[in-house]
Each structure stands twice: as C-alpha cells, then as structure tokens.
Chain A
Amino acid sequence: MRTIIGLLRRYIQLRAVLSTVVLTGIAMTALGGFLSYSIGNGLFQTRLTQVLSESQRSVIQIQNTFSASNVSDEVALQTLMNSVVPSLESNTASQERQVALLRTPGQPSGSLALQSPMSSNLNLSVIPAQLRVKVAAAGSRLSYQSVAIPTAVGTHPGIAVGAPIQIPLAGAYELYLVYDLQNEENTLLFVQRTLVVGGLVSLFLIALVSYFVTNWLVAPLRVASDVAESIASGDLDKRIPAKGTDVISTMARSFNKMADSLQKQITKVTNVSTMQQRFVSDVSHELRTPMTTIRISGDMLFRNRDKLAPTLKKDAETLNDQIIRFEALLGDLLELSRFDAGGVRPHMELQDVQHVVGMSIVSVEPLARSKGSRINVDLPTDLVEVELDSRRIERLLRNLLANAIEHGEGKPIDVHVAGNEDAVAITVTDYGIGMTKEQLDRVFDRFWRADPSRQRTSGGTGLGLAISQEDAHLHGGWLQVWARPNQGACFRLTLPKLRGGVIVESPLSMPPRAALWALPKGFYHD
C-alpha cells in the first residue's frame, strides 16, 4: 500500500513537472524562433537599407567621375577605371566591400581593349548571373541579391549590389559592390545562442519551481497517506494536522472526522467484546458453583435412593440424570460462548498427532464395545508432528468418534491419519445411517440433531460438532463432512502442521480411498 501510494505520488509529481517542462519548452521554442526570425530580419533589413544607400552614393559618384572626365586615350581611361576600385573598396560606414567594374556583355567590341578592374579578393563567381541579367536590364536603378561569399572556412552571407555605368569611349559597364554580412550573421548567432541558453536555464528553473510547487501540494497527501497507513496498522490515535481553510485542510479535517468515527466504533466493538468475555467468565464461575452443589446433592440422593420411599426413588433417578444432562449442556454452552466472545486462547504444543489420535480412540473404546463397533486405524509409519492444543483436538476427535459409533449401527469405524508437507488430516468414517443433503447442510448448526426421534444414547448436547468446528477453526484447520443416506458419513479434520500455517491441500481424500468403492456418491459440506 505504502509503495503504491508512494509510486502514485511520485508519478503525479513527475507527471506535473514533466508536462510543465514540455509545455513551457514548446512555448519557449516558438517564442525563440519568432524572436530569432524577427531579429535576423531586422538586422538584414537595416543593413540592406544602409548597403543600398551607400551603393547608390557610390554609383552616382562613379558615374559622375566618368561623365566628367575627358580622357581621350586608352591608357588614361584604364588608369581612371583602375582607380575606381580602391576608392570604393573601403568606406566609412560599413566594413570592407568588394568592388568589380565589369563590361556589360553583348556589346560590339569597341576600339579600345580595356581590362575590367576588381578587388583582388573577389571571386567573380560570387556575382550571380541572374543579377547580371537584372543589372543589364535595370537601366540606371540598383539591383541586389543575397549571395554566399566563399572564405577560407566556409562561406559568409553577403549582398551583391549592381548598377550599370556608362563609360565614355569604353561603352556600357556594370559596377558591382559585394558587402559581407558576417557581422550581422555573428550578431544573429549571438542572439540565438543567448536565446537558447536563456531558454534552457529558464526551463530548468521552471522544472525546479514546478517540482517544489507540486511537492508542496503533494506533501499533505503524503502525510495523509502515512497517517492512513498508521491507522490501518492499528495506531488509531494518529491524525492529520489541519490548519487553514484550503481544500487540502478540508480534506484533512474530513479524514480526521472519519478516523474519529472509526476509532469510536472500534473502541465500542472492542469494549463490547471485552465485556462479553468478562461476562462469560463470570457466568461460568457463578453458574458452575451452584451447579456443582446441585450435582453433589443429586449424587447423594441417588446414592441413597434405596432409603427413599419407592415413589420418590424414580424422582431421585430422574433428577440425577437431568442434572447430569443439564451440566453437560451448560459446559458446552459456556464453551461456545467463550468462542463467540473471542476469548479462547489455545494452548499450542508440538505433538505427535498419532499419539493424540490414539488417546482419543482409547477414550471411546468402552462406548465402541458397548455398541459392538470395531475401530480400524490406519496410521502413517513415521512420526507426524503438529502444533496443536492436544486437549481440544482430543476432545474434537473423541466427539467425531462418539458420533460415528452412535450412528454407525455397529459397523466398523475407519480412522485414517496422513500428513503432507504442511498439513495433517484425520478422517473418521462410519458406514451407518449417513445423512441426506438437507441434514448435511445443518450438521454443524447448534442444537441440531440428525434425527430427533432417535434415542440419544451417548448423551450428546447437540453442540458437539459446533464446538468441534470452532476448535478446528481455532487451529486454522478445516473440519469437513461427506455423507450419504444409509451408507455412512466421513468427517475429515485437516490441520496445518505449524501454527499460522496455510493448508494447500488436505493429505486425505474424502471419503478415504478404501471407502470409495462402497460409497459411490455423496454430499459434501464444510
């Protein structure tokens, strides 16, 4: 119970923490993605605006330079063109840019053979063909495109901006400016890293907080489960400390109220039981003393009956018989009351069961002889030790034997004893009048007799089997019966070998094998 509650408790807590972390994680990832995207976009747009305005200025400046020049020879023009590149390579506002001044393809080759100057670290493949097409078709506008700039280690993001330039004498050219966006990229990476680290840290903190919060909520439940456990194991005074008015305190108070009422009930029942036991003990003492006095008087009357008038002699005899019967009845009733009051403590001792069986057989031998019944005994060869109250088990067996003799109609009585690993069984079988199903169902009832019209020869009280049943249960054993009308009855007592032992299977079948052929069908009751 404790482990189940513990697991469940931990499970609830684990589940709460886990779901908090997962849900927060998803939310934070979405938020982080959005932030990262907008920051990246913002950085790019800012840089793009800057890049475009710088490029615009540069293009105008270059175009103006060429338009205003009046170079007339090839060398001077080449020199002028060459000077354009370094003048544009570095600018103040942003990092280095790379520059290329390329001749627009598809013109009739001019009279002049001029080289296209460009930055020394510029790889022409960076400028996409698409861009060149756009620039060629753009008129005087700027065109741009995002590009990847190869470096020693991988590539940098960048923007290539292009514009057409008209150079006198030389024809149509295109000016390209390639800007490196590595700084922006770095900034974005830094922001992203910060977001991720921050997110993980907050996730951990949230997990921690949710653990503590759920723990704080679960703690009263843990106390409640511990208290319930203590109460279950008998500590009825345990209560849950309850303060405040929140739902948990309300639960605690309800629980305590329930425990109070349970405790009251249990105490009441215990008191009743103790009182009943005391009562039975008192009744026993108070009744037995006058009973014995009456019996002695009856006994003396009986002994001296010959001195009485003949009319009184019969009374003396009846009185004595009925006193004896009454006393036996009282004894059995008190014994049953002790069982009912739960005040019976068996005196358990390790005993050889064969010995106990032998003793009980010896004690009924006079009765068996008087009825002409032979008692056949089948004992195992080795010692069968059983923890039992020999007085009670002997009484029980004596009772079964006396019943068998009384109902056996002078036929033999079979007694079998057998043991297995954890139990021992004793069967007492007679082949007499037996019982019907209806009779069998009531055989252990108090004061019930199989046939009221039959003469009571052994002076039974009608309580013998009820007491036997109680004695069997007191030992943790079984007392079962099988019977068939006019064919006999078989009582089987099965006892665990050790006190508190559990019987898995009775070592003897019922009825015993020897009787099976004789008694093909029967009824069972236990």
Chain B
Amino acid sequence: MTNKIMLVEDDEALRSQLERWLTESGYQVVAVGDGNLVMDTFRAENPNVVLMDIQLPGRNGIELVRDIREFAGTPIIMVTARSEAEVMDEAFEAGADDYFEKSPWEPEKLLARVKNSLRVQQRASVETATEEAGGVLKIGSVSVDILGHEVRKNGEKIALTPYEFKLLTTLAEKPKLVFSREQLLKDVWNHSYQGDTRLVNVHIQRLRSKIEDDPDNPTVVVTVRGIGYKAGLN
C-alpha cells in the first residue's frame, strides 16, 4: 500500500511541482490549494501525513492544524516560507509535529521528515512485535503500554499523537538517561544537527499538558537544567 500524503499549498505552480516531485518519490499525493476545502478532503482521504502551508486563502494553516487535532493525531509537517519564531511556536502549540522550510529547498530533508512521520506511526505495530508481551513502562502515575500503543494515567486512557507517544516512550525506555534537546530531535524527529530545538520545547509542553497533574511542576517529564529532559522517577 502506498502512503498517502495530503499536500496543502496555495501557490499553484509550487503545488503542482511538489505534487509531481512527491509522486515521483513514490507517494500518493492529494493536493489542496484552498483552505476551505482542507477539512473535507482530510476526512474523505484520511491521509497518512499532512504537509501544511501556513499562509492560505480561506483558512490559515495553524487554524487547520488545530481543527485536525480535534479528532486525529495524523502527523502534520508545516511547510513554511517563514521561519519566524512566533509563527512556528504557534503552529507547534496548535499541534503541528514537524516543520520544513520551503527555502532553501532541501529535498532529502523533506523526504526524511515524511518518512519519519510514517515511521513514528508504524512503530507500535512493527517494532513492538519484538517487545515482550505486556511491555508496560511506568513513570509516576503514567503507564505506557508500548504494545497496545496506549497511555494511561491513573487508569484513564490519554490520547497522544504518534509524535507525543514516541517522545514519551523514548524518555520512558531509558529512565536513567538525560536526553539533550538535540538528542531528542534526532531520536524522535530524526533531524540532523541543524534542528530547531523549539520543536522539542513545545512538544514537551504539549505532552506535559496532557499527562502531568500540574504542567508547571512536572513530575513525569522533568527538565534537567542546562542539559535537557528525563523521565521522572517513581
């Protein structure tokens, strides 16, 4: 089965070229140019990955991310011409998983990010086959069922996106290790050295807001000042 990418881009020339390029790279592509059509197309096509532009006619890309996150954890990669901090932070806070800058055009980078988004989703079904049955990790009041791809807090199920799940399991699998932001960028996002660590910061915040009793005083995902993050011990 070929993976389906939904491409949201308003510039017609770029959209058609990207569509061609992605098709040539082996993906099925659904291209949308109008922000108003995005939600309907998403529901109808149920893509594996979304490539989302920020500036769109009709509806803003960040709004669309927020709407998709209401019901789906599908990996969303922001494709943007701007790298301004405020906009990207807003997109990550809304639920975007990764980003890709249009310029300078780095095709390998885009492919790597798409592939990683697919890998993150498939992780549970493929890799956990090798895990011991009942491989459940516990951090504080949170239990992570790797096999079942499920996170429970005090017995209650918590819905995490694939990236959030991957981030949490990465930390939980090595509870004694302190992960630097760059390490997490590499392990979770498969970014090279030039990664933007804000991606990690905002994801940690998002994760905390879902699993911590008090996100301002985290106990599950704790900050190690000057170094990075680690799983909180029992």
How close is B55's CB to chain A, nearest CB, in angstroms?
7
Interface residues in A374-398 by Cβ distance below 8 A to B read 383, 385, 390-391, 394
User: Is the CB of B82 closer than 8 A to any CB of chain A?
Assistant: yes
User: Is the CB of B180 closer than 8 A to any CB of chain A?
Assistant: yes
Is the Cβ of A347 less than 8 Å from the Cβ of B193? Answer: no
User: CA A105 – CA B182 in complex, angstroms?
Assistant: 132
Which of B14-22, B42-50, B63-71 contacts the other chain? B14-22
Is the Cβ of A300 less than 8 Å from the Cβ of B21? Answer: yes
Is the Cβ of A292 less than 8 Å from the Cβ of B105? Answer: yes
User: CA A351 – CA B181 in complex, angstroms?
Assistant: 10
- Which of B18, B103, B227 neighbours the largest number of chain A CB atoms within 10 Å of its CB? B103
Instruction: Choose among A299, A349, A362, A394 the residue that contacts B107 (Cβ–Cβ < 8 A).
Output: A299
Interface residues in B78-137 by Cβ distance below 8 A to A read 81-82, 84-86, 102-105, 107
Instruction: Report chain B residues within 8 Å CB of A261.
Output: none
Is the Cβ of B193 less than 8 Å from the Cβ of A359? Answer: yes
With A289-B11, A293-B13 as known contacts, state yes or no: A330 contacts B103, CB within 8 Å. yes
Shortest Cβ distance from B85 into A: residue:
A347
With A299-B107, A327-B104, A327-B105 as known contacts, state yes or no: A391 contacts B226, CB within 8 Å. no
Instruction: Report chain B residues within 8 Å CB of A297.
Output: 17
How close is A3's CB to chain B, nearest CB, in angstroms?
40
Instruction: Report chain B residues within 8 Å CB of A285.
Output: 55, 81-82
User: Is the CB of A363 closer than 8 A to any CB of chain B?
Assistant: yes
How close is B214's CB to chain A, nearest CB, in angstroms?
23
Interface of B is mostly: loop
* Number of A residues with CB within 8 Å of any CB on chain B: 34
Instruction: Report chain B residues within 8 Å CB of A284.
Output: 81-82
Is the Cβ of A347 less than 8 Å from the Cβ of B13? Answer: no
User: Is the CB of A57 closer than 8 A to any CB of chain B?
Assistant: no
Instruction: Report chain B residues within 8 Å CB of A289.
Output: 11, 14, 81, 102
Interface residues in A284-343 by Cβ distance below 8 A to B read 284-285, 288-293, 295-297, 299-300, 324, 327-328, 330-331
Shortest Cβ distance from A289 into B: residue:
B11
User: Is the CB of A54 closer than 8 A to any CB of chain B?
Assistant: no
Is the Cβ of B103 less than 8 Å from the Cβ of A331? Answer: yes
Instruction: Report chain B residues within 8 Å CB of A390.
Output: 197
User: Is the CB of B198 closer than 8 A to any CB of chain A?
Assistant: yes
Instruction: Report chain B residues within 8 Å CB of A299.
Output: 21, 105, 107
With A296-B18, A300-B20 as known contacts, state yes or no: A328 contacts B104, CB within 8 Å. yes
Q: For chain B, give the interface size range.
A: 20 to 34
Shortest Cβ distance from A356 into B: residue:
B182
Shortest Cβ distance from A343 into B: residue:
B84
User: Is the CB of A23 closer than 8 A to any CB of chain B?
Assistant: no
Number of A-B residue pairs with CB-CB distance less than 8 Å in the complex they form? 81
User: CA A289 – CA B182 in complex, angstroms?
Assistant: 29
Is the Cβ of A362 less than 8 Å from the Cβ of B105? Answer: no
How close is A498's CB to chain B, nearest CB, in angstroms?
13
Shortest Cβ distance from A304 into B: residue:
B24
User: Is the CB of B196 closer than 8 A to any CB of chain A?
Assistant: yes
Contact flags (1/0) for B159-194 with A, using CB distance below 8 Å? 000000000000000000000101000000000011
Is the Cβ of A391 less than 8 Å from the Cβ of B13? Answer: no
Is the Cβ of B182 less than 8 Å from the Cβ of A359? Answer: yes
How close is B10's CB to chain A, nearest CB, in angstroms?
9
With A300-B20, A345-B85 as known contacts, state yes or no: A292 contacts B194, CB within 8 Å. no
User: Is the CB of A281 closer than 8 A to any CB of chain B?
Assistant: yes
User: CA A327 – CA B85 in complex, angstroms?
Assistant: 21
Is the Cβ of B102 less than 8 Å from the Cβ of A288? Answer: yes
With A345-B85, A350-B225, A385-B226 as known contacts, state yes or no: A292 contacts B193, CB within 8 Å. no
User: CA A383 – CA B24 in complex, angstroms?
Assistant: 47
Instruction: Choose among A288, A290, A383 the residue that contacts B226 (Cβ–Cβ < 8 A).
Output: A383
With A300-B21, A359-B182, A363-B193 as known contacts, state yes or no: A292 contacts B102, CB within 8 Å. yes
User: Is the CB of A260 closer than 8 A to any CB of chain B?
Assistant: no
Shortest Cβ distance from A300 into B: residue:
B21
Instruction: Report chain A residues within 8 Å CB of B104.
Output: 295, 324, 327-328, 331
Is the Cβ of B11 less than 8 Å from the Cβ of A296? Answer: no
User: Is the CB of A355 closer than 8 A to any CB of chain B?
Assistant: yes
User: CA A284 – CA B21 in complex, angstroms?
Assistant: 23
Instruction: Report chain B residues within 8 Å CB of A293.
Output: 11, 13-14, 17
With A355-B180, A359-B182 as known contacts, state yes or no: A292 contacts B226, CB within 8 Å. no
Contact flags (1/0) for A136-151 with B, using CB distance below 8 Å? 0000000000000000
Instruction: Please give 16 more A-B residue pairs, beta carbons under 8 A apart, in addition to A284-B81, A293-B13, A359-B182.
Output: A288-B81, A289-B14, A292-B14, A293-B17, A295-B103, A295-B104, A296-B20, A296-B21, A296-B105, A297-B17, A327-B105, A331-B104, A362-B193, A390-B197, A391-B194, A391-B196
Residue contacts A-B, CB under 8 angstroms, 13 given: A285-B55, A288-B103, A289-B14, A291-B102, A291-B103, A293-B14, A327-B103, A327-B104, A345-B84, A351-B226, A352-B226, A385-B226, A394-B193
Closest 5 CB pairs of A and B: A295-B105, A288-B103, A288-B81, A296-B17, A292-B102
